[in-house]
Structure 1
Amino acid sequence: MGGMHHHGEGGTSRPETALTLLVLLAVAGGYLLAAHRARRRNPAQGWNPWRSASFLTGLALLALALVPPLAPAAHTDFRGHMAQHMLIGMYAPLALVMAAPVTLLLRTLPPARARRVTAVLHSLPARALAHPAVALTLSTATLAALYFTPLYNTAMAHPAGHWLLHAHFLASGCLFAHVIAGPDPAPTRPGVRTRLFCLGIAIAAHALIAQAMYGGFFVDIHAPIDQVQQGAEIMYYGGDIAELLLAGALVSTWRPERRTPRPAGRAPVPY
């Protein structure tokens, strides 16, 4: 990792911070309004307040990552970038996905529009995107391309590239959390064992990437060695905690399969 240096200077302006907070507040207000409408439409069913709390927690984690003091530090310190990555790509997505925003949307939309949303969820592109292999590739495999090629340095040299990284971390993190443990409808979601297997691959991949980063193997990051190593530690331990939380969310969705009892005296039908 010799020859590493600070990447381009940058920061977060006050208008950018204000706009970010305004957008997050607007999203929070939209979710709470939809939850209120869901309770009014069906008082008996209501809407679980823990879902709302989870969504607000996810937005708070995004705010923590995208405004000072962390946001400016992420432009000049690789440790700040990695902390952002953990918050935007792992912790916030889990909280947002567990809030079941698609289910809430379907409950509040008029029937005709809800059917259109359902049709989109059942479409071939949506099914392909929600395949565990695709979600795993977008959320995990792309990290190797980011940190072991010049891609990270190129993205950090331009403000637009930095925001594109944020968008990728958030979208891929939400997709992976949805596929693994999301409460929202997922027509092609596999069984618990398959999802645990995919989660195990993600855990192993994160650990390998963090260890290679700490040891300086294949790394192409323009930052001081101590920052890269400490960033790798943040990725290693922070990723473990986030993935344990995701595993807990997955296990909480497991329900034993109900087997229909076979009438006495009837032989099983061979397949």
Structure 2
Amino acid sequence: MPSETVREPARDRRTTSTTVGVLVVTAGVLAALIAAALTALSASGSYAVYGLPDPGPVTHYGLPVVRVIAESGAVVCIGSLLLAAFGIPAKRSGALAADGYAAVRAAGWAAAVWCVGAALVVPFTAADATGKPVHDVLSTDVLFGLIDALEEPKAWALTALVAFVLALACRVVLSWGWAVVLFGLGLAGLFPVIATGHSAAGGAHDIATNSLLYHLFGAALWVGGLIALLAHAARGGSWLALVTRRFSAVALVCWIAMALSGVTNALVRMAPGQLFGTTYGALVALKIAGLVVLGVFGFLQRRRAVDRLEGGAGRAELLRLGAVEALVMFATIGVAVALGRTPPPAELGPVPGRTELLIGYPLDGPPTAARLLFDVRFDLVYGTLAIVLAALYAWGVRRLRVRGDRWPVGRTVSWLLGCLTILVATSSGVGRYAPAVFSVHMGQHMLLSMLAPVFLVLGGPTSLALRVFKPASKGQPAGPREWLLALVNSPVSRVLTHPVVALALFVGSFYLLYFSGLFDVALTQHWAHLAMNAHFLLVGYVFYWPVIGIDPAPRRLPPIGKVGMVFASMPFHAFFGIALMMSATVIGSDFYRSLDLPWLTDLLGDQRLGGGLAWASGEIPLVVVMLALLVQWSRADSRQARRIDRKADADGGAELAAYNEMLRQLAEDDRGR
């Protein structure tokens, strides 16, 4: 048994586990009461503000309570899956350890609570949006009609479905890989709610939604991770110091993300001077105070707890201080729910223009070259992603240099060019005009799917990470290096990098997105733009990874196979561009006409320009790919020649001598005949 393992008598473990269970229930009730009380104080006049009839006290006070139930179940579920996937070391065989399995079972029960809470939120949000008492919308026909017509009840219904799947899956999962999959599904279950509500409407809703994405994901990992850590400690789980250390690192990142995103979201919804002059601002200040206390208190107490746990003590102190932190966290959740029910000052001001309502911001004029380059609007998701990826890569290269290892400069330059391409495509004028102008959107599409992935795979990030992170020694738990290798060699990676699958995803998604009506639906939703950009990047990376990638791939293609994949994609891209140029139907015409941009009147001409960009831009990545292949083949030949020379030097040219002897023998045989 590892030295960090702490075991107690079964009776003590059961008593402590019961105490933690009571703590979670108490914290949830506290959060619900706080949410209901603050809603009563802050949001009582919101219906009159929005011109809606009051649905009655049951809806008014019941909605924040059921939301707290749903959100509490969500964070505990996600935190428990985080613990099982990346906190508690799995067995070498890939099966979950006993403590990991216990965390997954706890996640299953929390998912059931999440499912029930989300299902209860559906009729309450429908009643709240229509101004009817909740019992008036409980009829099946009425409720399903409102779910189909209203975005927020639809989002909660989808969330309830995801939670239901999680509750069932957690009953049967036994392997580490599937625990990781369920953890990703749990995070995805938060997304429908993030994409609706206050942040998804009105001016600057792109920034508000993106910041809320960081905020809620950070809260789920932080709060849920703490509850899972306390439950693990109460069970007398093994590797407690290691689990606490890993959670502390996650909590620090989450706290920074929540602080920055919370400030950004608040500035979108109100001016700094309204922080203490409005009810909304007072709730923001209260939430900020709670987060500051939690961040400082949690960091200090966990650092001290890790030191004591590594010395074989400190479990009781971790439980005691963690319980206080959990209570404050759930109280903050109650404040956050009340904040979501309070009208922000920005929504009570002048009504934004049509363009600002639809895409989140106004456009000053047509997309000239200067505006496309310098009319910057930073994308909080992909702009931040580009900067973080570049910083992590630079940190890895520096670690190697400090250790005395070398890393090719060309790979570093290639990776930074890929990050720069993502930044330009999403945060320059290209990203600003892409939601409103089809031709600019097509240019962004080509940058993200056909240029950025080429540079990124040539950077070899997996190879760099494998050299930076040392392998776990025998008897030690798996770490980032082992997780990365498991991802590279997973069945999902093998399927995605199959030449047929990669080619179908890379070129087939063009036709499916633009000629099936999906693009028309996606234009009106900000979350759909985020999903499209993620899809463009991922399918491009999956396609170019086995073709020109430096990193080890699940499938090794022969040189002719690599060239074949590249040339097989060319006609499909050409046909796609030609189809756009020849089409007489405007894709997304209803949305583009609703923008009513005075300088964009010829929508069909703009679409043909976008088709021309798609047709012509396929040549640039082809040149880069072919140059990369030629360089790689040349270097492979040089390495092979050096290996042969070293072998000849080592054995005195035995292989060459044997070959010459074979030729001599053949010549003698010919003379004899």
* TM bin (shorter chain): 0.7 to 0.9
Question: 1:21 aligned to 383, 406, 411, which one?
Answer: 383
* Structure 2 equivalent of residue 227 of structure 1: 606
- Any stretches of 5+ residues in structure 2 without a counterpart? 1-354, 363-375, 473-478, 593-602, 645-654, 667-673
Tell me the CA shift for residue 183 of structure 1.
0.7
Question: 1:143 aligned to 510, 513, 517, which one?
Answer: 510
* Residues 206 and 19 (structure 1), Cα distance of their counterparts in 2 relative to 1, 3 Å cut: closer
**CA deviation vs aligned residue, 1:153-186 (integer Å, no higher than 9, x gap):** 1111110101100000001111111121101111
Describe how 1:75-224 pairs up with structure 2 within 5 A. Answer: 75-112=435-472, 113=479, 114-216=481-583, 220-222=587-589, 224=603
3-state DSSP of counterpart to 1:75:
coil
Q: Give identity over the alignment, percent.
A: 27
Tell me the CA shift for residue 39 of structure 1.
2.1
Alignment of 1:36 onto 2:395? no
* Structure 2 equivalent of residue 3 of structure 1: none
3-state DSSP of counterpart to 1:184:
coil
Tell me the CA shift for residue 16 of structure 1.
5.7
Task: Read off the aligned partner of 2:530 and give its amino acid letter.
Answer: W
Question: 2:431 aligned to 63, 71, 75, which one?
Answer: 71
* Residues 212 and 218 (structure 1), Cα distance of their counterparts in 2 relative to 1, 3 Å cut: farther
Q: Distance in 1 between matches of 2:464 and 2:586?
A: 42
Q: How many residues align?
A: 259
* Structure 1 equivalent of residue 415 of structure 2: 55
- Any stretches of 5+ residues in structure 1 without a counterpart? 1-5
Task: Read off the aligned partner of 1:183 and give its amino acid letter.
Answer: I
* Structure 1 equivalent of residue 631 of structure 2: 252
More helix by share: 2
Q: Distance in 1 between matches of 2:532 and 2:566?
A: 22
* Residues 106 and 218 (structure 1), Cα distance of their counterparts in 2 relative to 1, 3 Å cut: farther
* Structure 1 equivalent of residue 619 of structure 2: 240
Task: Read off the aligned partner of 1:10 and give its amino acid letter.
Answer: I
Q: Distance in 2 between matches of 1:76 and 1:220?
A: 12
**CA deviation vs aligned residue, 1:119-143 (integer Å, no higher than 9, x gap):** 4322332222211211111111111
Which structure is larger by alpha-carbon Rg, 1 or 2?
Answer: 2
Deviating more after overlay: 156-165 vs 126-135: 126-135
TM-score, length of structure 2 as denominator length: 0.36
Deviating more after overlay: 195-204 vs 210-219: 210-219
Deviating more after overlay: 134-143 vs 122-131: 122-131
Alignment of 1:10 onto 2:359? yes
Q: Distance in 2 between matches of 1:179 and 1:11?
A: 39
* Residues 137 and 12 (structure 1), Cα distance of their counterparts in 2 relative to 1, 3 Å cut: farther
Answer yes or no: is the 8 Å Cα contact 2:442–2:614 preserved in 1.
Answer: yes
Report the aligned-residue RMSD.
2.8
Which has the higher relative contact order, 1 or 2, with Cα contacts under 8 A spaced 6 or more apart?
A: 1
Tell me the CA shift for residue 18 of structure 1.
5.1
Tell me the CA shift for residue 106 of structure 1.
0.3
Deviating more after overlay: 184-193 vs 229-238: 184-193
Answer yes or no: is the 8 Å Cα contact 1:12–1:67 preserved in 2.
Answer: no
Answer yes or no: is the 8 Å Cα contact 2:377–2:428 preserved in 1.
Answer: no
Answer yes or no: is the 8 Å Cα contact 1:34–1:104 preserved in 2.
Answer: yes
* Residues 9 and 51 (structure 1), Cα distance of their counterparts in 2 relative to 1, 3 Å cut: same
Q: Distance in 1 between matches of 2:632 and 2:381?
A: 36
